[in-house]
Chains A and B, each alone.
Chain A
Amino acid sequence: MSNKAARNLFIFGSLFFFVILVILTFDTLAKLPKRAPEITEEVNAGKMVWHKYDCIGCHTILGNGSYFAPDMTKVTERKPKEYLKQFLMDPKSVNPKASMPKFGITSEEAEKLIAFLDWISKVDTNGWPPKPILATAAGVAGRELTSGQRLYQSLGCSNCHMINGIGGTTGPDLTHVGSKKDRVWLFGHFKDPKAYVPNSVMPGFGHLSEQELNDLTDYMIALK
C-alpha cells in the first residue's frame, strides 16, 4: 500500500464511521423521550441544583461520575422522601457517622433534588443496576424464615439498617439491638418513631397490624 492510499483510507474511512455515528445519534435522540417520563419544571430545577453543588464530584448517577459516594440512580426507590429531604439538608442529623458535608441546601432545593432523583429512577436503563445475583440465590436456598424476618425483608428495613454486616449504614446497626432496647420501647417506636426519638427520619409503621408489630418486635428482641 502506498502512503497516499493509506492516507486516503484513513481520511475517508474515518469520515464514513463518523457519518454512521451522526445517524445513530439522530435515531437515539428521537427515541429518548419514550424511554423516560416527561421532564417537569421541578425536575429541571432539581437538575440545576444537582449541578450547583457539584454532586457529581462525589457521587455517580446512571453509573457515571465519582466513586467516593453511593450511586444516585435508584436512591428514591430505596429511601423514603422524608428521610432524603432531611439527609440532604443536614446529613449528620440523620446519621451521626455521615461524611457527606452540610452544604446549606434549602428545603425547596431539597424538594427539587428529590423530584430530579425520582425522575432519574424511572429512566429505562436497560436493566441497570442489576439485582445482586448471589443475594437472590442465598434467599432461595436459605432456611425457613420467621414471620418477623419476612416482614423485615419485605418492608425494606435493610435499606437503612445492618444486621450481621448485611444492609444499609444510614440507620443504627441492629445486630445487637435486642440487648439494648426492651419490648415496650421497640413496639412503641415502630408505631411512632418521632415520639421516642425527636427528629427521627425512620418511617412509622403504625399501619401494620398488632400481630405484625409483635412479630417484628420478637425478631428484634432475638438479636442479642
Chain B
Amino acid sequence: MTIKHESQKIAQNFYTFAVLLFLVQVAIGIIAAIQFIKPDFFILNFNIIRSLHINALVVWLLVGLMGATYYVVPEESETELWSIPLAKFQFWATVIAVTAVVLGYIWMGLNPQANTLVFGTRLLNEGREYIEAPRWADILIVVSVLVFLLNNFMTMLKTKKWTGIQGTLLGGLTFLALMYLPGMFYTQSMVKDQFWWWWVVHLWVEGSWEVIAGALLAFMLMKVTGVKREVVEKWMYIEVGLVLFTGILGLGHHYYWIGTPGYWLWVGGIFSALEPVPLLVMVWDAFRTTREARVVTNKAGLYYTVAHAIFNFVGAGLWGVIHTLPQVNKWTHGTQITTAHGHLAFYGAYVLLILSMIYVTLPAIRGVKEYNQSRAFLSFWWMTISMIFIVLTITGAGMVQTYMERLMGLDYVAVKTTYNMWFWILRAIFGVGFLIGVGIFVKDYFKIGKEPVPAVSPAAEKA
C-alpha cells in the first residue's frame, strides 16, 4: 500500500495535530471528572475546564476530518491536490487560531473580568456551550473552512470524476460549513438563542457529520475489503438519505421545553425516534461487506471501521433513542443521562471514525504494506472498555438523579454530593483507563511504518 499522489501526504499534518489534541482533551476530561468530587481541585474553574474539554474534542474531530478529506479527494479524483501551499497555509492558520482561542479561555479562567465587550461581542469567550469561541475566531474558522472547501473543490474540477463518495463528502462538508452560521449572531431572547444554537449542534452531529461519516465509511469499506464501488455507493446513498430524512426534523427533540410551540413534541418525537434506523443499516452494511471480503491485510483498519459502525449505532442510536420521546425526556432532560449519551455517541460516531480513517490511510501515507498491528488492538480495547464503563457509570448516576431529583423532588446539590458521589469516583478511575488507551494509540500513531514488522502475523499476536 502506497499513496498514488504525493499531495495526499498533507493529511498527516492534520492527523498529527488531531492526535495530540485528542490526548489533551482526554487529560482535561479527567480534571473535569475530579472537579465533580472536589470542585476546587484545579487553578481553572470547572466551566473553563469543560469548555477546553469539549472544544478540544470538536476541533480535533474537525481537523481529523480535514486530513481525511485531503487524503480521499486526490485519491478519488485521481490527481494531485489543487494547491499544496494553500493546504499548508490553511493548516498553520488553523493551528494558530486554535492556540489563540485556548490561551483566551485560560486567561478568562484566571481573570473573569478580562472577557470584555469589543465591538459588541465578547473578547475571549461567547459563553455559549460548544461555540464558546469568540466572534473573531468564528470568522477565522469560517475562512479556514472556505479555503479548505475551495482547495478540494478545485481538485475535483481538475478531472471532473464525480464519484458518489467524494460528491457526498463534499456535500456533507458544505452543509457543515453552512450550519456554523446560525451560531454567529446575537439574539436578545434566550429562547431564540437556544433555538439557533441547536441548529448548529444538532444539524452538525445528527446531520452533516453523519453524512460525512456515511461517505467515509463507504470509502474505508471499499479500500480495506476491496468490494465493488457500485454496491457501497448505493448503500451509502440510502444511509445518508435516511440520516437526513429523520435527522433534519429530528431537531425537534431539542424544542420540547425551551419555550417553543407544543407541536415540536410530535415532530421531534416521531422523527428522532426513527434516527437509529440509518445507523443500523450502516452496521449491517459493514458486516455484509466484511463477510464478502477475501483478503484483508489491514486488519486493524477494518476492525476500527466495523467498531465505528457498531458504536455509532449504540451510542447515538440506542443511547439517543432511550431519552428522545417527550414522555421520557420530560424527566431526563438536562441530567447525567444526557452526558452518558453525549460521550458514547461522540466516541462511537466520530472518535472511532477519525481513528479508523487514520488506520486505513496512514500505512499508505508512510509507504508500508504491513505494520505491527498489536498496539492498535490493545489501545482499542483499553479505550472501548473504559468508555463503556464510563457510560454505564454515568447512566447510573443519571438514573439516580432522575429518580431522586426529578421524581422525588430532592435537591440537586444534595443528590450530586451524596447519592451520586461513588459514580463520580468510578468515572474518574475509568477515565484514567481511557487515558492509558489514548496513550497507547498516540505511541502507535508515531511508530506506524517506522519500526520493523514482527515475524509473527499480527492476527495471531492479537490473542
Contact = CB atoms under 8 A, between A and B. Distances in A.
Nearest to B116: A52
Interface in A32-52: 32, 35-36, 39, 43-44, 47-48, 50-52
Interface string A44-65: 1001101111111110111111
Given A3-B233, A6-B234, A51-B128, A58 B46 contact: yes
Interface in B234-263: 234, 237-238, 240-241, 244-245, 248-249, 251, 254-263
A68 B267 contact: no
B330 A135 contact: no
A29 interface: yes
Interface stretch (B67-75, B94-102, B183-191, B443-451): B183-191
B412 A21 contact: no
A135 B404 CA distance: 10
B50 interface: yes
B132 A24 contact: no
Contacts of A54: 47-48, 51, 108, 115, 125, 127, 132
Contacts of B128: 51, 56
A153 B131 CA distance: 42
Interface in B319-341: 330-331, 333-336, 338-339
A17 B241 CA distance: 11
B196 to A, nearest CB: 9
A13 B244 contact: yes
A195 to B, nearest CB: 28
Nearest to B168: A10
B127 A51 contact: yes
B259 A57 contact: no
A172 interface: no
A64 B413 CA distance: 17
Given A39-B188, A56-B128, A128 B330 contact: yes
B366 interface: no
B461 to A, nearest CB: 40
Contacts of B115: 52-54
B244 A17 contact: yes
B242 to A, nearest CB: 9
B414 interface: yes
Contacts of B154: none
B36 interface: yes
A14 interface: yes
Contacts of A51: 122, 126-128
B460 interface: no
Interface residues of B, number: 76
Given A13-B245, A56-B128, A63-B257, A132 B407 contact: yes
Contacts of B406: 129-130, 132
Contacts, number: 206
B234 A1 contact: yes
A127 B257 CA distance: 7
Nearest to B342: A67
B21 to A, nearest CB: 19
Contacts of B254: 64
B47 A57 contact: yes
A40 to B, nearest CB: 10
A132 B251 CA distance: 27
B6 interface: no
A146 B125 CA distance: 52
Interface in A1-19: 1, 3, 6-7, 9-10, 13-14, 17-18
Given A32-B189, A62-B190, A57 B258 contact: no
B241 A10 contact: yes
Given A14-B241, A60-B334, A125-B259, A134 B188 contact: no
A70 B333 contact: no
A63 B330 CA distance: 10
Contacts of A43: 188
Given A57-B47, A99-B40, A29 B192 contact: yes
B112 interface: yes
Contact of A132 (B129, B230, B408, B417): B408
27 contacts: A6-B238, A9-B241, A10-B237, A10-B241, A14-B241, A18-B248, A29-B195, A32-B192, A35-B191, A35-B259, A35-B261, A36-B259, A51-B122, A51-B128, A54-B47, A54-B132, A58-B45, A68-B46, A71-B334, A101-B45, A125-B257, A125-B259, A126-B262, A128-B333, A130-B330, A162-B411, A168-B411
Interface of A: 1, 3, 6-7, 9-10, 13-14, 17-18, 20-21, 24, 27-29, 31-32, 35-36, 39, 43-44, 47-48, 50-58, 60-71, 99, 101, 103-104, 116, 119-120, 123-135, 162, 165-170
Given A35-B261, A47-B193, 6 more contacts: A17-B249, A31-B261, A58-B46, A62-B190, A62-B191, A129-B333
Interface of B: 35-36, 39-40, 45-48, 50-51, 108, 112-113, 115, 117, 122, 125-129, 132, 164, 188-195, 197, 230, 233-234, 237-238, 240-241, 244-245, 248-249, 251, 254-265, 267, 330-331, 333-336, 338-339, 405-414, 417
